[in-house]
Amino acid sequence: MSPESVETAKIITVADGFYVRQAVDNMAWIDMGDYAIVVDALEQQELEADVFDAIASTFDPKRISYVLNTHTHSDHTALNPAFSRRCGAEIVNLHTHHIPRDGRWFEGTRRRAVMLPMGGVHSGHDCIVWVPSDKALFTGDLFGWGLIPRPGALRDDATRRVLDAYALMIEFDPHVVIPGHGPLCSAGELKRWVEYFNHLSHQVRDAVLAGNTDAQIIEQIAPPQDMAHWWRFVQWKHEDSLNKVLDAVRRGALSN
């Protein structure tokens, strides 16, 4: 799936009964058979009517029993109260529930999904959601079209958590990857980001050892051509990742 403009929301049918509202902020609603689930709940409360109209065009929103938040930042939870109020849905995230390390399964007569905790990658309460029958993976903000998901300064331990999380996500071999924001993609983009991050780290370390200034390094290390079409990557995401890696290398906090 090639990235494209997502400034205008559109509904994508992933599979029969499985729908994604793709926009700057993504969410999905999935018919499990005897009930339905929602994954993530946007950041704009004013979109409540539009969202429920879209769901109603596919199935009765009152069938929604659970809202699964990939994490609890406000841009993923704003409509939680609306789903509770309108549908009586139970809100499930790492603030509201204990989710075991091997995940919590949501079993339906039509399909099943598992919510797996991945805390400490993007936030302290990250989860991913895997729908095996449709080979679909919700990454939350672990995949950001070129962004390093860990906010703030990088350290070796945080970097290892990020790479371990990517190894697990890639192991699922998803056909459809639904990130928290932006275009849908596939396992290929997850693999390419790991290659990009590792290569970027080596490039920066070599440049620092060669005695280059920060300004020289930023000028020398351009966005990879094969990633130039990634959503907002050239505009600012490559620069953000480069600056994070450069800062970590200068501090001696990214040695691996």
pLDDT band at 120 (very low <50, low <70, confident <90, very high): confident
Over residues 141-165, the pLDDT tens digits come to 999 999 999 988 999 999 999 999 9
Over residues 214-224, the pLDDT tens digits come to 999 999 999 99
246 closest CA partner among 222, 216, 214, 223? 214
Which of 3-7, 23-27, 47-51 comes out lowest in average pLDDT?
A: 3-7
204 closest CA partner among 164, 237, 253, 150? 253
What count of other Cβ atoms lies within 10 Å of the Cβ of residue 231? 20
Task: Report pTM.
Answer: 0.96
Residue 7, pLDDT score:
75
> What distance in Å separates the CA atoms of residue 88 and residue 56, rounded to the nearest whole number?
16
Are 68 and 38 in contact by the 8 Å Cβ rule? The answer is yes
Are 54 and 66 in contact by the 8 Å Cβ rule? The answer is no
pLDDT band at 8 (very low <50, low <70, confident <90, very high): confident
Residue 1, pLDDT score:
40
Are 117 and 93 in contact by the 8 Å Cβ rule? The answer is no
Residue 3, pLDDT score:
47
Residue 173, pLDDT score:
98
Residue 4, pLDDT score:
52
Within its chain, how far is the Cα of 23 from the centroid? 13
Q: What average pLDDT does the segment 23-31 reach? A: 97
Residue 256, pLDDT score:
62
CATH 3.60.15.10 fits 10-186, yes or no: yes
Mean pLDDT, rounded, of the chain: 95
pLDDT at 231 exceeding the cut of 90: yes
Residue 2, pLDDT score:
45
Q: Considering the chain, what percentage of its residues have pLDDT values greater than 90? A: 93
Over residues 32-87, the pLDDT tens digits come to 999 999 999 999 999 999 999 999 999 999 999 999 999 999 999 999 999 999 99
Are 151 and 122 in contact by the 8 Å Cβ rule? The answer is yes
Residue 88, pLDDT score:
98
Within its chain, how far is the Cα of 166 from the centroid? 11
How many CA atoms, within 13 angstroms, populate the side-chain half-sphere of residue 156? 6
Q: What is the DSSP letter of 139?
A: E
User: In this structure, what is the dihedral angle of CA atoms 240, 11, 96, 123, given to the nearest 10 degrees?
Assistant: -10
